[in-house]
Chains A and B, each alone.
Chain A
Amino acid sequence: MTTELPRDIKLASSEKQIDQSSSNWLPPGLALQKVDEKIMTLNVGPQHPGSGHMRLIIQIDGDYIVACDPDPGYVHRGEEKMAEYRNYITNIPHLERPVIHDSCNILYPYVLGVEELLGIEVPERAKYLRVIGAEINRCIYIMYWLAIYGIFLGHSTMFMWPTGDRELLIDLMEKMTGARVTHSHFVPGGVRNDLPANFEDVCLRQVNYFEKRIKEYAAVFYDNPILISRTKDTGVLSRQDAIRLGTTGSVLRASGVDFDVRKKEPYDVYDEFDFESIVMKEGDSYARSKVPWLDMMESCRIIKQALEKIPKSGSVRVKLKPNPKGKGFDTVYKRVESGRGSLGCYIVSDAKPEPYRLKLSVPSFRNLIALPYLLKGEKLGNMPAVYWSLNYWPVEADR
């Protein structure tokens, strides 16, 4: 026997739910509204809306979105707290877990910071090896992101091709670091090991082929009228809003702001390479999906230049004392350009082998903030196209 709940009880409980949710941070025009006959609340997630566990509380009026409240936090791992109990070396394997596809880039600011704290001078060859590793990793991440963007839009060819072509680069990383995804390759003082014999030739061959392959994506994906009709002019983020909301990386550059940490604050040897930071004016989902793809071509250029310029011999790692310590109370903040945007690491040291405090400032979380602004007034069917174009990785946002 089923009994229908009286209508007002339903209303009361959903009101209460709204009060408890996190929507207070949104400005009045965007906050979640009271549910009535017209407006319905829809939970997208938290069981994997595509890429890791997070929830979007979406309110729709018919087919149109009236409010959206992203609710991250389902994959919080306490990385920052964990870092306070481990020394500067044993922090490495767990700090790369938030974005295993981009594991070199998420370690990069940490490693640069620890080097400054401990006063380590890195050998020149190691700097080039890091650039090669970081750029290959950026491509690996973007290919994975692109594959999911394809499947989000129902374009299964675009899921298969990047997943397959990504294998070329994963194979390179496996030869270089010995692991396919979580490399644990960057350490304070350089990199863990030197290149294997013959790596330069293999790398050049595979990167050239990879570059040829990604150019073919233009016809099947980026010039495809079906993709254009679904992503052009959806979720437009103006230049002012992009700056005001603090977005970063491909989202910021797709809105016409030329900001690439590799160009503006070159770290390691990035100032020696000739590459462009990709900027597009439109600020819609199409531009946001195209900027990372063009970024990959620049990455390929950097890898090829690095293979040419790298010193042919020399040490790649400075030997540290066991349990290296900072000199005294000291703080350092370093940032790098990751596959998603500027990724910062703030370390406070108090002359112990462990950091006193470690804070990761991640691009995913900063890009997610733009989502409620972009989704208002969009059709529900466009939600995946806008959501995933933000270059957002749930696990990284939650740390």
Chain B
Amino acid sequence: MGTATGIIRALNSGIKHLAIKRFTLRYPEEKLKFVGDGYQYDPSTGVGIAGLKGRHMLFHDKCTGCQLCAIACEGVAEAIAMVKVPEEHKHNKKAIMPQIDYGKCVFCGLCVDACPFYALYMTNDYELCSFSKEGLIYTPAQLQVKPYVAQDVDIIITDRGASHG
């Protein structure tokens, strides 16, 4: 193949892209859809449930303060610290619950695998930035809140190419 034909073919395949849909996700305006409500784990079968590994969610009515999540995280990022909580639960004599430092967490989800009482799950919330280091530390009360996550678009494939819509 001659040089000229080769270059024309290359240009041609670029020009064809003018008719193809834009693939870029316009992030802050539109947000990607996820499967499920975040990564969860079922200790009875030992298998997780697919979902995004985002910010954690702690169920105060189930957490016993057993510290297994903190022990699991010790070898990973030391992001979990056990702190005192003001409320009293029958199942949580010591009144301690995990507090997670998202400046350290790597979102591996091993703490979720470690919790035997269905108390710690992950959610679809991934927008965690903060202006201060302290703002990244989530107390048990903050972890209890179920986040609202906008889920607008998914990848759609048509004859005119793939796009987010």
B12:A317 contact, CB within 8 angstroms: no
Within 8 A of B (CB), among A55-89: 85-87, 89
Asked whether any CB of chain A lies closer than 8 Å to the CB of B165, the reply is: no
Q: Check B18 for interface membership: any CB of A closer than 8 A.
A: no
Q: Does B3 contact A (CB under 8 A)?
A: yes
Chain B, 58-103, CB within 8 A of any chain A CB: 72, 74-77
B150 at interface, CB cutoff 8 A: no
What per-residue 1/0 map shows which CB atoms of B1-37 lie under 8 Å from chain A? 1010011011011100000000111000000101110
Stretch at the interface among B43-51, B128-136, B137-145: B43-51
Contact between A219 and B10, CB atoms less than 8 A apart: yes
Complex alpha-carbon distance, A174 and B155, angstroms:
13
Q: Are B110 and A220 in contact (CB under 8 A)?
A: no
Minimum distance in angstroms from B99 CB to a CB of chain A:
20
Q: Which size class do A's interface residues fall under?
A: 35 or more
Say yes or no: is A6 at the interface (Cβ < 8 Å to chain B): no
Report the Cα distance A86→B139, complex, angstroms.
27
Bound complex: CA A157 to CA B12 (Å): 13
Contacts A89-B110, A93-B108, A171-B155; A178 near B50 (Cβ below 8 A): yes
Closest Cβ of chain A to B24, distance in Å, is 7
Contact B6 A223, beta carbon cutoff 8 Å: yes
**Contact pick for B122, options A178, A196, A209, A221, CB 8 Å:** A178
From B13, B36, B49, contact of A216 by CB (8 A): B13
Taken together as a complex, chains A and B put the C-alpha atoms of A195 and B36 apart, in Å, by 11
A167-B23 in contact given A178-B52, A209-B162 (Cβ < 8 Å) = yes
* Contact of A94 with B by CB under 8 A: yes
**A194-B50, A318-B46 known; A206 vs B122 contact (CB < 8 Å):** no
How far apart sit A380 and B51, CA to CA, in the bound complex (Å)? Answer: 48
Contact of B107 among A179, A196, A315 (CB under 8 A): A179
Closest Cβ–Cβ distance, residue B10 to chain A (whole Å): 5
Distance, CA A343 to CA B23, complexed state (A)? 34
Separation in Å of the B77 CB from the closest CB of chain A?
8
User: Knowing A93-B106, A184-B110, A197-B35 touch, does A225 contact B13 (C-beta < 8 A)?
Assistant: no
Interchain nearest-CB distance for B33 vs A (Å): 10
Question: Across the two chains, which residue of chain B brings its CB closest to A192?
Answer: B48
How many angstroms from the CA of A164 to the CA of B110 in the assembled complex? 31
Choose among B7, B24, B157 the residue that contacts A205 (Cβ–Cβ < 8 A): B157
Contact B108–A317 (Cβ < 8 Å): no
Tell me whether A195 and B9 are in contact in the complex, defined as CB-CB below 8 angstroms, given that A89-B110, A167-B23 are known contacts.
Answer: no
Q: How far, in angstroms, from A162 to B155 measured CA to CA in the complex?
A: 16
Q: List 23 A–B pairs whose Cβ atoms lie within 8 Å, in order of A's numbering.
A: A89-B75, A90-B75, A92-B108, A93-B76, A164-B24, A175-B34, A175-B50, A176-B50, A178-B38, A178-B39, A178-B53, A182-B107, A182-B108, A184-B110, A192-B109, A194-B50, A206-B162, A209-B157, A219-B13, A220-B13, A223-B10, A225-B7, A315-B47
B contact residues vs A (CB 8 Å cutoff): 1, 3, 6-7, 9-10, 12-14, 23-25, 32, 34-36, 38-39, 45-53, 72, 74-77, 106-110, 113, 122, 155, 157, 162
For the complex of A and B, list the 9 residue pairs with the smallest distance between their C-beta atoms, beginning with the closest.
A90-B75, A319-B46, A193-B48, A225-B6, A93-B108, A196-B35, A196-B50, A219-B13, A178-B53
A interface vs B, CB < 8 Å?
85-87, 89-94, 157, 164-165, 167-168, 171, 174-179, 182, 184, 192-197, 199, 205-206, 209, 216, 219-221, 223-226, 228, 315-320
